[in-house]
């Protein structure tokens, strides 16, 4: 964790603050790419993931944005009520689970606070000279967060609010599958689920989405299983009432965890034998050999994972 000082807090809209963090001594920060997030640890000991929404070329500042949540689990309320410029927070180095993949054209779809990674992507795609457009769904166009940043991106950005371009009909906008076009989306679950549904006929791999909340999942009853660590004699029993991550940590296998809800990616391990039952919100390919043991389990009585680095 890096100790970072709060350099600037700015109100972006009625419920959204942007926060700029920097090294206390002005040392350049670890680099990042559009789509990356940092884990921020507060004095409350809570840890939350926030997408970086500033300029990756600015090595002196990380900019994040925090929505005041109606049913805050504490972090959002603390940040809005108590965090002040000059205070110190601790943050991880950036990690990118939502990178820009090669494509002929990019459709960026954001809603609400989901604008944060999408804004960084739009700036990056513009810098690259890529073909892209963005639709941003927001309740009130008069209370638009990141107005200056969005205005600077010009005509490629459409604001879908009742007082601007109106509601975006995702079903008709995405009705026609377009091979070679990549869709990146981030926002509340009902928005990302609607994008997912509208793209059911699109080629596999066209949709890239980032969730703030775990996706709804129908899961089978937990079964106990065994995890072995490749190249060692470590064999860990995972009982039905315990997560694989907790069992690994109890056996002193050093796998980090953060969200414990299958959305941040910090606990990723690589499966080298056996089959994982993916219960996270990050995996789109059921055959993926990357698994997130905070929530995911095994479909086979035994899993072998690569030794964590």
User: Between 134 and 253, whose beta carbon lies closer to ligand FES?
Assistant: 253
Sheet holding 225-229, edge to edge: 235-238, 225-229, 302-305, 269-273, 290-291
Residues that bind ligand FES (CB under 6 A): 257-260, 262-267, 280, 292, 294
Dihedral sign for Cα atoms in the order 265, 268, 271, 277: negative
Question: What's the CA gap between 2 and 41, in Å, rounded?
Answer: 10
Nearest approach, Cβ of 281 to ligand FES (angstroms)?
8
Query: Residue 293 corresponds to which tokens in the numbers above?
Result: 């043991």
User: Between 174 and 255, whose beta carbon lies closer to ligand FES?
Assistant: 255
Q: What are the distances in angstroms from CA 104 to CA 101, 132, 276, 306?
A: 10, 9, 33, 35
**Residue 293: Cβ within 10 Å count:** 29
Q: What angle do CA 34, 39, 44 make, to 5 degrees?
A: 150
Nearest approach, Cβ of 207 to ligand FES (angstroms)?
20
Q: Tell me the CB-side half-sphere exposure of residue 258, using CA atoms within 13 A.
A: 20
Nearest approach, Cβ of 246 to ligand FES (angstroms)?
11
User: Between 117 and 257, whose beta carbon lies closer to ligand FES?
Assistant: 257
User: Between 277 and 280, whose beta carbon lies closer to ligand FES?
Assistant: 280
Nearest approach, Cβ of 232 to ligand FES (angstroms)?
22
Straight-line distance from the first to the last Cα atom of the chain, in angstroms, rounded to the nearest whole number: 17
User: Between 80 and 278, whose beta carbon lies closer to ligand FES?
Assistant: 278
Nearest approach, Cβ of 6 to ligand FES (angstroms)?
24
Nearest approach, Cβ of 183 to ligand FES (angstroms)?
23
Q: Tell me the CB-side half-sphere exposure of residue 263, using CA atoms within 13 A.
A: 21
Nearest approach, Cβ of 49 to ligand FES (angstroms)?
8
User: Between 56 and 214, whose beta carbon lies closer to ligand FES?
Assistant: 214
Question: What's the CA gap between 280 and 35, in Å, rounded?
Answer: 19
Query: Residue 113 corresponds to which tokens in the numbers above?
Result: 């606070």
User: Between 92 and 123, whose beta carbon lies closer to ligand FES?
Assistant: 92
């Amino acid at each position: 964790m890096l100790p970072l000082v709060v350099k600037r807090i700015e109100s972006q809209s009625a419920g959204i603050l942007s926060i700029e963090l920097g090294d206390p001594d002005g040392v350049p920060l670890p680099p990042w790419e559009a789509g990356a997030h940092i884990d921020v640890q507060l004095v409350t000991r809570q840890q939350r993931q926030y997408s970086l929404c500033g300029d990756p070329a600015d090595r002196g500042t990380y900019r994040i944005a925090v929505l005041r949540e109606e049913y805050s689990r504490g972090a959002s309320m603390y940040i809005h009520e108590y965090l002040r410029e000059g205070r110190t927070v601790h943050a991880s180095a950036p990690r990118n689970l939502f990178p820009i993949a090669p494509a002929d054209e990019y459709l960026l779809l954001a809603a609400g606070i989901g604008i944060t990674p999408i804004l960084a992507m739009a700036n990056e795609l513009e810098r690259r000279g890529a073909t892209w457009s963005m639709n941003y769904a927001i309740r009130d166009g008069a209370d638009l967060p990141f107005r200056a940043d969005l205005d600077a991106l010009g005509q490629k950005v459409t604001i879908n609010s009742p007082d601007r371009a109106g509601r975006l009909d995702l079903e008709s906008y995405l009705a026609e599958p377009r091979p070679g076009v990549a869709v990146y989306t981030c926002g509340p679950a009902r928005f990302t689920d609607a994008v997912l549904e509208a793209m059911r006929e699109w080629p596999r791999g066209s949709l890239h989405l980032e969730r703030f909340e775990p996706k709804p999942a129908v899961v089978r009853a937990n079964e106990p299983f065994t995890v072995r660590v490749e190249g060692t004699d470590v064999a860990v029993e995972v009982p039905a009432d315990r997560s694989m991550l907790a069992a690994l940590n109890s056996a002193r296998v050093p796998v980090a965890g953060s969200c414990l809800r299958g959305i941040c990616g910090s606990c990723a391990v690589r499966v080298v034998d056996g089959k994982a039952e993916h219960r996270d919100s990050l995996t789109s390919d059921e055959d993926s050999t990357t698994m997130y043991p905070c929530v995911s389990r095994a479909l086979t009585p035994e899993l072998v994972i690569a030794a964590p680095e």
